[in-house]
């Protein structure tokens, strides 16, 4: 027991040193792989061992203990868990700062992310007598983000709102702007003084009354939130008044379809190079687009092209396969780990589906898809090119297909 506590005290001192080092490193904007490795291997492993040892003693597996000893061990477990959270936060912050966190972005419904996070905190908040409200648009465009990282941001903001609000309400609102999505988490809690606001997003900053050990934060949460939002090319800010409440707001830029597809290509090329695998691009284009536009009108033909996108996605058999509108007359599919012959087989299968004239939309608004004459092209890494630019140039050789 005494040895465990000594080890725990030693680790606390080491983590304190690391916190000082991390704060200084953030100020000087320097990062080293050695730091990340040291946090990962030198601290996480012994903390896990110590927690297991304390748990065994507390559970009476190595002998009977008194009530006083059980209370002391409970405090020790809470302290180990807090230190573990600090280590994980340090590691996460260090990776983000070093640019080692690769965003795995995808198109998602932002409202789904908000609802998932709010549902996790709703019961706890209501048990505290708080009202939780959401204000979400009825319809909105999908956003191109890494879902897990945005959930991490929302979770941190909701956690702080619940932690620092004793009465009143918490509101999460989303606004679908023309160029960005804006999200705010507001509370009626204790607020932040104007003197402290400039330091809110700094490392190891904590404001307000000290929380119990089990609820104490790492002081890195908001700093990590800021870095995640910035990695998404967005920004985050806070407005607050003491005893009046706090509102954290962040915005995330929207991406044009071609930008999303280019990111999928870049990510696929990176994986192909690292894994020494193939990557195929598949371009479907409507050869009679101009004729159909004159016959049916621009709006209806565009809706038909959108239906083609949905049909293509329904034919994919892997979640890693992506597709989207490249321009008004063409659709680009990105197929990781797909050789050229396999890409041709996929294209033939999809084109046969087009030719059946099956309608995707239930209302049958857009007419039979068989009215569209669709052809395709395939370009594959590495045989057709080793860069995004070369591969795309082969796909859109016809100037009408350039976005």
pLDDT band, residue 265 (cuts 50/70/90)? very high
Q: Which of the following CATH numbers is that of domain 257-401: 3.30.70.270, 3.40.50.1110, 3.10.310.70, 3.40.50.1980? A: 3.30.70.270
* Pairing label, strands 169-176, 131-135: parallel
Of the candidate ranges 95-104, 112-121, 227-236, the one whose mean pLDDT is the lowest: 95-104
188, 129 Cβ separation under 8 angstroms: no
Round to whole Å and give the CA distance between 10 and 403: 60
- The answer to pTM > 0.85 is no
pLDDT tens readout for residues 342-385: 999 999 999 888 766 554 444 444 445 678 889 999 999 999 99
Structural fold of domain 106-253: Heat Shock Protein 90 (3.30.565)
- 68 pLDDT more than 90: no
CA 91 centroid distance within chain: 17
H-helix segments, 104-256: 110-127, 147-163, 221-231
pLDDT band, residue 38 (cuts 50/70/90)? low
pLDDT tens readout for residues 321-340: 999 999 889 999 999 999 99
Burial of 83 (C-beta count, 10 Å sphere; 0-12/13-18/19+) = buried
The residue extents of the domains of the chain are 2-97, 106-253, 257-401
Contacts (Cβ under 8 Å, ≥6 apart) of 35? 21, 22, 25, 94
Burial of 282 (C-beta count, 10 Å sphere; 0-12/13-18/19+) = buried
- 30 pLDDT more than 60: no
- Give the DSSP letter of residue 40: I
């Amino acid at each position: 027991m005494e040895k465990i506590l000594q080890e725990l005290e030693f680790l606390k001192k080491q983590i304190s040193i690391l916190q000082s080092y991390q704060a200084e490193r953030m100020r000087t904007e320097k990062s080293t792989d050695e730091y990340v490795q040291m946090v990962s291997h030198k601290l996480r492993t012994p903390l896990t061992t110590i927690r297991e040892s304390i748990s065994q003693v507390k559970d009476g597996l190595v002998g009977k203990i008194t009530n006083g000893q059980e209370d002391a061990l409970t405090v020790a477990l809470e302290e180990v868990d807090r230190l573990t959270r600090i280590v994980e936060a340090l590691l996460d912050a260090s990776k983000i700062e070093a640019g080692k966190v690769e965003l795995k972005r995808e198109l998602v419904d932002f409202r789904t992310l908000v609802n998932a996070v709010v549902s996790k905190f709703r019961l706890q908040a209501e048990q505290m007598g708080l009202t939780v409200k959401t204000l979400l648009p009825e319809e909105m465009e999908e956003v191109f983000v890494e879902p897990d990282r945005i959930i991490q941001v929302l979770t941190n903001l909701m956690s702080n709102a619940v932690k620092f609000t004793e009465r009143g309400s918490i509101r999460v609102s989303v606004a679908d702007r023309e160029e960005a999505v804006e999200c705010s988490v507001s509370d009626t809690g204790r607020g932040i003084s104007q003197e402290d606001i400039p330091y809110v997003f700094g490392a190891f900053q904590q404001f307000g009354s000290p929380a119990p050990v089990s609820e104490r934060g790492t002081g890195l949460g908001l700093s990590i939130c800021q870095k995640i939002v910035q990695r998404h090319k967005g920004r985050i800010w806070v407005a607050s008044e003491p005893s009046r409440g706090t509102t954290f707001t962040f915005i995330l830029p929207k991406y044009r379809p071609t930008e999303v597809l280019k990111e999928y290509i870049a990510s696929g090329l990176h994986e192909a190079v690292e894994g020494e695998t193939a990557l195929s691009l598949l371009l479907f284009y409507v050869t009679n687009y101009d004729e159909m536009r004159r016959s049916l009108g621009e709006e209806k033909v565009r809706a038909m092209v959108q239906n083609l996108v949905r049909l293509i996605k329904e034919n994919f058999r892997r979640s890693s396969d992506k597709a989207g509108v490249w321009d008004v007359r063409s659709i680009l599919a990105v197929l990781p780990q797909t050789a050229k012959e396999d890409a041709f087989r996929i294209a033939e299968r999809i084109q046969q589906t087009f030719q059946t004239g099956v309608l995707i939309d239930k209302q049958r608004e857009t007419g039979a898809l068989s009215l569209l004459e669709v052809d395709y092209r395939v370009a594959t890494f590495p045989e057709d090119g080793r860069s995004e630019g070369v591969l795309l140039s082969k796909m859109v050789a016809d100037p009408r297909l350039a976005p």
